[in-house]
Structure 1
Amino acid sequence: MHIQTVILIILAAIIALVIALFQYYYKTRKRGRIAILLSFLRFTTLFGLLLLLVNPKFSKKVYSTEKANLILLTDNSSSVAPYQDDIESVLDAIRDDAKISERFEIRPYSFDRTLGNDSLTFAGGQTDITTALKTVQEAYSRSNAAIVMITDGNQTLGQDYGFYGKNQEMPIYPVAIGDTTRYEDLAITQVNANRYAFLKNKYPIEIFVSYFGSSDTRSRLVVLEDGKQVYRETLSLNGSDNVRVINALFDAGSVGLKNITVSIEALPDERNTANNLKEIAVEVIDEKTNVTLVSNWVHPDIAALKKAIESNGQRSVSIARPKADAKAWEDTDLFILYQPDHSFKAVYDYIDNSKTGVLTLAGSRTNWTFLNQVQSAFAKNSSQQSEAIGALLNEGFTLFDTKDFSVADLPPVTGSLGEIRLREQAEVLLGQRIKGVDVKQPLLAVFNGDVQKEAVFFGEDIWKWRMQSYRRDRNFKNFDDLIGKLVLLLTSNQSRERLTLEYEAIFSGSRDAKIQATYFDNTFVFDPEADLSLRLEGGTITGSMEIPMLLKGRYYEADLSNLKPGKYTFTVTEKGDGISKSGRFTILDFDVEKQFLSTDYPKMERLAQNTDGVLFYPSGVTALVDSLVSDQRFVPVQVSDQNIVSLIDFRMLLAIIVFSLAAEWFIRKYSGLT
């Protein structure tokens, strides 16, 4: 307690005593026991009030010894499992050393893909050293700490820890576990390919081959597609020229999943041949767009549109009546509705549910009363009076490039007069010109919605444009390209299947093997109450096995991590509606942790140098302990903690003040004093 506080307390006592004596003894004749008692109560009240103002405190310092933190990071991946005894001996030597215990607080952790507790199973499927170091640094950034990292240094996931070490503030002492001998090795380090290829096109594959050694070597690289050799090349590598990147193109001759096997011949004395082969899958798909043209009428426009669309070999057009069976529309990517009337009601209902793109051509036979009611994108007050309508190109149209399309010399089409209202946001590609005057009405408008895309052409006799294109340019390109771009826009990003699947054709091991499914109801709204099940066959399964698919937010998922390597077929079925979809996949007998035979001690040594640490080996654990104990950076420090405590208990003091005031008042009243 400070001397100033003591003086204030003494002054408070003197002041309280003087006031109490003055009130009860100055010019007072009655000085009996009652006066003494009342003076004491008044003194107590005043002294308590003054103590509240002074608020005396005293400080107390508590001294303690703070040790540095010794963080033991132990690799828990399967690649170090053969060296479990070495790891345990290193850990025991550190934990049981008395000098280490005196100087450090030991904080044990394990790591593989993520940082974990000190439980060791040596079953981790991947190793991310950088994430472990980063997590530890964040947790102990405000303390004095050192890291002992026991690992083989082979990282299979995440940022390269050799470079991350430059950002690490704590000294790191790696302990290199495993075989430090550098063996000659050929490896296919990576194979890159697109997941999908289009029929009758070529698809590229990029192959990375690395050689670890110092001598000159030659080896043959072979690529197989479904077991058939499609590529072969002999590679020459040496200690300085030790990497090859091979880019090759392959024909997508048929639709389906293509299993691609890339292999390189092993060296005569090569010990690790697991990395001499990689498998991938490429799915060849037919990108053909299916267009259904619905009409009640026979008209040259229908033939012109069919020819223009099918000028692209990846598109096909089928012509249907509006009262056709709806099942025939399930594969439709775009509807073209030619002059719709009341008979198109079922078609519009299907389009509304499936959100399929639609192009409407409205001419003299269109029932505008029906059309205005059945859809909400546009409306027209038609006078039923026919008029020849010319086209005006909107140079500001942005949904696709129109610079190659010319409306010059195009004959007018036939349309009806009347006010047109675009009730949803749209871009006008072509405007109307009647008798040379721009009437500020759209001829061709496009509605580029997020869910559904739509376009409307307010006229007929569009076949004349295709004929004029040929008459002028001796080809149909001007017209066909416009229709092709319009079809591409209206069919882009359309997904109308009620059941969709997401999975890899080839899984590198079963750890990440999952199949995801999305299911929509008949209005194409995601159904979170669907009953989806997955039936598996093949591999090591006898007969078949059924797995329920669990809801995970906006999709369903089946975990296949317990499956053995092999080839499997599966079917996903929604039991309520009976909708199903099938596929196949392969789980490879692949463990990325087994791709390494040697310890990556050069990188661990670089990490130690970058963080002002030292690399050690299991045989040198005694030197590691001595280095930690003798390092002056980790000397325990004495820290003081100053606690400031109030000398008085405010609640008790207030109670005493209230009691003394009440007692004084009661005694004065009882004694007849005023």
Structure 2
Amino acid sequence: MIQFGENISWLLPLLIFSAGSSVALYFFKPDGYSNKVRIGLAALRFVILFLIGLFLLDPLVKYVSSEEEKPLFLIGIDQSESILANKDSSQIKELINSLKENVKTIDNVELNVIGFGNEVVESSTFSEKGTNISAYLKYVDDNFSFRNIAGHVLLSDGIYNLGVDPDYVDLKTKTPIDIIALGDTSKRPDQKIIETRYNKIVYLGNKFPIHVSIQSNFLKGKSSVLRINSSSGESFTKEYSYNSQSEILKFKVEFEAKKVGIQLITVQLDEIDGESNTVNNRVVIPVEVLDVKEQVALIYHTLSPDIGAIQKVIAKNENLDVDLINISELSIDLMNSLKDKYNGLILYQLPSTTNKINANLLTAIYSSELPTMHLVGKQVNINQFISLNPGIAIKGNRSGMVNYTTGGLNSNFSLFNLPKESASIISEYPPVQAPFGEYVFKGKSSTVLFQKIGNVQSEISLWTFVEFNGKNSIYVMCEGFWKWPLAEYRINGNTDLFTNLIKSSIGYLSVKKDKSRLRVYAATNYVNSEEIVLKAELYNDLYEPINDPNIELKLIKNDSLNYEYSFDRSEIGYTLNMGALNAGIYRYEAKTNINGVEITKSGQFSVSEVNVELANLEANHNVLFKLSEKSGGQFYLPSEFQKLTSKLKSQTFSSILYNQVNFRDLIDFKWFFALIIFLLGIEWLVRKREGFL
């Protein structure tokens, strides 16, 4: 069907023009044609002119196309290491091949086999170090929810250690999932380390605890030995016995941080005769030992409960120290020496309206290079505060006036993580007093709390982090927040949110700016199953990013084994993928050359040996049964495989025929031009045959 749209009004004039031109050419000119030939040529010319005019009217050709979609049969196969831990690989492969062959015998069905481990994979080697069933189900939903699915069979042992419980996945694909449950659900004699709790960062000279929990099954009356060894040379040994068939034992050990750097601590259980699995008897944990505590100076002119609330949080953190300094005891010389001792400053209600302070001393305080946290309340001389502080301006301020406001969480705040349910907890915090006015920050700012008047959250800051002229600052534009941890404890029985807010704020002050021209970014610890990717940045003398020079990296393990790599250039920096590495402590040294000047950067990281797949070999068929029941499928054991094949053979599946209406321009049909040329050729041949050319 041809559609002309707005050009249909030209169709009748085209017909008249084509007919008139053809008649005028062959009936009003004495050419000697016979009437039969004249009529044929006129009709031929009419068709040619009409087709050419039709092309100029640019009509659309409407047509219907059909596409057949054959039914698709999905087979999902768990490719994790635990699959082969209880069964011979040939048995598993035989079962999978038999399933594939049975599906292939079904008429009019296409087979799609999908493997999964940490994520969906193409390999079929059963070497995946983790199992993420929920990621597989999401992949099926994303790619096949609108397809013609004939059937879906999932083969797994139900042991998942990544993602969420499959029972919580909202299945968009409504095809029933038939399960073939692999693995062994029986409990066998075994002991395993189920938990290790420790501080990832400790400070030199401090003692740090290591908590170890051990679980046993069917080992009553048996004994073993717990051994904990640090790469720095410390060790602990403890013999223990099991007094019941199922038991959890807990141990606490204290080590001393004696050596700066990354220390690997190995927790090992001696093997017991008859134990079914010894992989879960060993855990290696990394601890980073630092040699400097973070120290902050809090300068005040009068004590306040707000200061006490901050002190209480810092006192619980052995990695932080705060010194209280009354401004009356502070001199300019002493102020200038603070930068050598402290990582940051906290200024409480300075400059004050009630306590006159030496102007030169205030200038020295505010011109300090140390990151600063400003606690601003009604006692602050706002006009003087603004004149001393170039990073902030206040519009509409009325000196001495305050707003009574609660805090409203900024949902887009991402500078650091806050505990769950933070918004609801903050909504229960009592009001605080905030200086009247609208605050404008210069530089890069990130606000965690806005002022909330009644139920309306404003855009006015209450607690904001700012980076301006290379200096980190925090502006807490309120007083009376000492009531917040009391309210939080009354509601939740803890003060996690307030503690996190203060600790993260102090941490923001303590962040050291890296001014080196070569910077290498690496995590402190990796696991042996993941690819290790390092990133690097290089800067010229003006600290502009460049990536022309080559960066070489030497990796050293145990002071003997060396590896050499070259970074790859990225858009504005460098990346290096070293693949997976064996467990151990690695030192690296990156090196480059800019205009004849050699620049180096060194560091270290650790690689821990982790195998969550082989740590637990007890199949979880309950998860698989729930999944089959939820989707409307059937649950089969390998011994019931024939029931599944009988079901498959008894089913018939039909293709789906999709009809689609399409529109194409006439110009897209090449045969149309060929037809016009063909008709012109016939007209030319007839006229030549009649001798009139």
Show the counterpart of 1:464: none
Distance 1:428 1:586 in 2: 38
Q: Secondary structure at the match of 2:341?
A: strand
Matched, 1:402 2:348: yes
Distance 2:519 2:538 in 1: 7
Distance 1:31 1:534 in 2: 92
Would the alpha carbon gap of residues 515 and 230 (structure 1) be closer, same or farther in structure 2, given more than 3 Å must change? farther
Would the alpha carbon gap of residues 579 and 189 (structure 1) be closer, same or farther in structure 2, given more than 3 Å must change? farther
Offset, 1:550: 3.2
Show the counterpart of 2:139: 135
1:452 pairs, out of 463, 470, 473, with 470
Offset, 1:201: 6.3
Q: Which amino acid aligns with 1:636?
A: S
Distance 2:250 2:157 in 1: 28
Query: How does the TM-score come out when normalised to structure 1?
Result: 0.59
- Mapped contact 1:538–1:568 kept (Cα < 8 A): yes
Q: Secondary structure at the match of 2:545?
A: coil
Would the alpha carbon gap of residues 207 and 41 (structure 1) be closer, same or farther in structure 2, given more than 3 Å must change? farther
Q: Gaps spanning 5+ residues in structure 1: where?
A: 2-11, 292-299, 318-332, 335-398, 416-425, 431-435, 456-485
Offset, 1:614: 1.9
Would the alpha carbon gap of residues 91 and 39 (structure 1) be closer, same or farther in structure 2, given more than 3 Å must change? same
Distance 1:489 1:289 in 2: 11
2:611 pairs, out of 591, 594, 598, with 591
- Mapped contact 1:38–1:664 kept (Cα < 8 A): no
Would the alpha carbon gap of residues 405 and 254 (structure 1) be closer, same or farther in structure 2, given more than 3 Å must change? farther
Task: Map 1:438-587 to 2 at 5 A.
Answer: 442-443=387-388, 445=390, 449-450=467-468, 452-453=470-471, 492-509=511-528, 511-539=530-558, 544-561=562-579, 563-574=581-592, 577-587=597-607
Distance 2:618 2:185 in 1: 5
Offset, 1:280: 1.8
Matched, 1:71 2:83: no
Distance 2:67 2:591 in 1: 69
Show the counterpart of 2:166: 161
Q: Which amino acid aligns with 2:333?
A: A
| RMSD of aligned residue pairs (Cα, Å) | 5.9
Q: Which amino acid aligns with 2:387?
A: P
- Mapped contact 1:510–1:560 kept (Cα < 8 A): no
- Mapped contact 1:263–1:276 kept (Cα < 8 A): yes
Offset, 1:86: 1.9
Matched, 1:150 2:155: yes
Show the counterpart of 1:347: none
**Cα-to-partner distance string for 1:118-164 (whole Å, 9 max, x where unaligned):** x5233333333322332233222222322222333333333333432
Q: Which amino acid aligns with 1:574?
A: T
Q: Gaps spanning 5+ residues in structure 2: where?
A: 2-11, 297-329, 362-371, 393-465, 474-504
Show the counterpart of 2:288: 283
Matched, 1:305 2:369: no
**Cα-to-partner distance string for 1:425-482 (whole Å, 9 max, x where unaligned):** x99999xxxxx9x899935655864461299xxxxxxxxxxxxxxxxxxxxxxxxxxx
Would the alpha carbon gap of residues 400 and 602 (structure 1) be closer, same or farther in structure 2, given more than 3 Å must change? same
**Cα-to-partner distance string for 1:561-586 (whole Å, 9 max, x where unaligned):** 46444444443333554443444444
Task: Map 1:373-412 to 2 at 5 A.
Answer: 402-403=348-349, 406=352, 408-410=354-356, 412=358
**Cα-to-partner distance string for 1:73-111 (whole Å, 9 max, x where unaligned):** 223333334632123212322333387332521122333
Give the aligned length. 517
Q: Secondary structure at the match of 2:90?
A: helix
Matched, 1:616 2:636: yes
Task: Map 1:259-278 to 2 at 5 A.
Answer: 259-262=264-267, 269-278=274-283
Show the counterpart of 2:39: 39
Show the counterpart of 1:93: 98
Distance 1:443 1:644 in 2: 71
- Mapped contact 2:225–2:237 kept (Cα < 8 A): no
Task: Map 1:12-411 to 2 at 5 A.
Answer: 34-46=34-46, 67-81=70-84, 83-97=88-102, 100-117=105-122, 119-145=123-149, 146-164=151-169, 166-191=171-196, 193-199=198-204, 226=232, 228=234, 255-262=260-267, 269-287=274-292, 301=331, 303-305=333-335, 309=338, 316=341, 402-403=348-349, 406=352, 408-410=354-356
Distance 1:72 1:625 in 2: 13
Q: Which amino acid aligns with 1:534?
A: L
Offset, 1:306: 5.3
Show the counterpart of 1:353: none
- Mapped contact 2:585–2:604 kept (Cα < 8 A): yes
Would the alpha carbon gap of residues 169 and 287 (structure 1) be closer, same or farther in structure 2, given more than 3 Å must change? farther
Q: Which amino acid aligns with 1:84?
A: S
Offset, 1:238: 7.9
Offset, 1:500: 3.8
1:636 pairs, out of 648, 654, 660, with 654
Q: Secondary structure at the match of 1:97?
A: helix
Q: Which amino acid aligns with 1:110?
A: G
Would the alpha carbon gap of residues 222 and 407 (structure 1) be closer, same or farther in structure 2, given more than 3 Å must change? farther
Would the alpha carbon gap of residues 87 and 207 (structure 1) be closer, same or farther in structure 2, given more than 3 Å must change? same
